[in-house]
């Protein structure tokens, strides 16, 4: 399954919880990039300039990284992918990766929240964790990219009938409960008939 949402919507927090409950690996492209930046790897050095500006890392780099990660043993029996795909080109790439591994997407979970709430959450997080891309100008740019590019990704999955939308506002536990309840709905059945 995928989890998609604007920056600050709580994707990382909810992914950890969902993956534990479902017993599948949680894979976050943002976390992989940040680990590489921290480790000073060639991938990290390449990605850092984009991340710090709030831009997408080029598809050529991101696609390869995701393909390699999804081929690892812990992902072959299911995974929860957070942060990918963010562009329609990445949707095509993921379709290809899944087809080559005989895998299908069960559900795409979208966490929703209002922009001003997101900016305020991220500015608050900036004081605590100091992520290099959590300053107001970069946050607003990341939000613009989400609206300009990633919402088209969400629309594609809605057309396929596999989209589940959950309100990301409120207490963390409440959001998790909403997510788990929405996953109990027969999203997959409608996906098959919706194709
Ligand atoms: P957020 O959703 O809060 O912006 P993430 O931790 O998911 O943060 O991602 C951080 C950064 O990593 C992004 O701003 C982008 O630079 C890069 N990144 C993550 N996933 C992708 C992707 N699928 N395509 C391109 N760049 C990505």
Question: In this predicted model, what pLDDT tens digit does every residue of 13-62 receive, in sequence order?
Answer: 999 999 999 999 999 999 999 999 999 999 999 999 999 999 999 999 99
d(CA 101, CA 183): 23
Torsion of CA 11, 14, 16, 19, to 10 degrees: -110
Partner residues linked to 165 by β-bridges: 110
In short, whether 157's Cβ falls inside 6 Å of ligand 1 is no
In contact, 10 and 115? CB cutoff 8 Å: no
Instruction: Identify which has the larger pLDDT, 193 or 80.
Output: 80
pTM here is 0.92
Give 113 Cα–ligand 1 centroid separation in angstroms: 17
Cis peptide before 85 (omega within 30 of 0): yes
Q: At a CB cut-off of 8 Å and minimum separation 6, what does 19 contact?
A: 25, 26, 80
**pLDDT (tens digit, 9 = 90+) per residue, 93-113?**
999 999 999 999 999 999 999
In short, whether 29's Cβ falls inside 6 Å of ligand 1 is yes
């Amino acid at each position: 399954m995928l989890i998609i949402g604007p920056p600050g919507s709580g994707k990382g927090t909810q992914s950890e919880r969902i993956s534990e409950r479902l017993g599948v690996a949680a894979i976050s492209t943002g976390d992989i990039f940040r680990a590489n930046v921290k480790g000073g790897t060639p991938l990290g050095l390449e990605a850092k300039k984009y991340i710090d500006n709030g831009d997408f890392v080029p598809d050529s780099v991101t696609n390869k990284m995701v393909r390699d990660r999804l081929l690892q043993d812990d992902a072959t029996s299911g995974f929860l992918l957070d942060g990918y795909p963010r562009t329609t080109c990445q949707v095509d790439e993921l379709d290809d990766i899944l087809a080559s591994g005989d895998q299908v997407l069960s559900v795409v979970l979208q966490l929703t929240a209002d922009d001003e709430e997101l900016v305020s959450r991220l500015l608050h997080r900036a004081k605590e964790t100091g992520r290099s891309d959590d300053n107001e100008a970069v946050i607003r740019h990341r939000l613009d990219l989400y609206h300009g590019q990633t919402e088209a990704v969400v629309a594609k999955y809605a057309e396929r009938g596999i989209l589940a939308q959950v309100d990301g506002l409120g207490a963390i536990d409440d959001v998790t409960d909403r997510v788990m309840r929405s996953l109990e709905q027969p999203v997959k059945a409608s996906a098959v008939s919706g194709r």
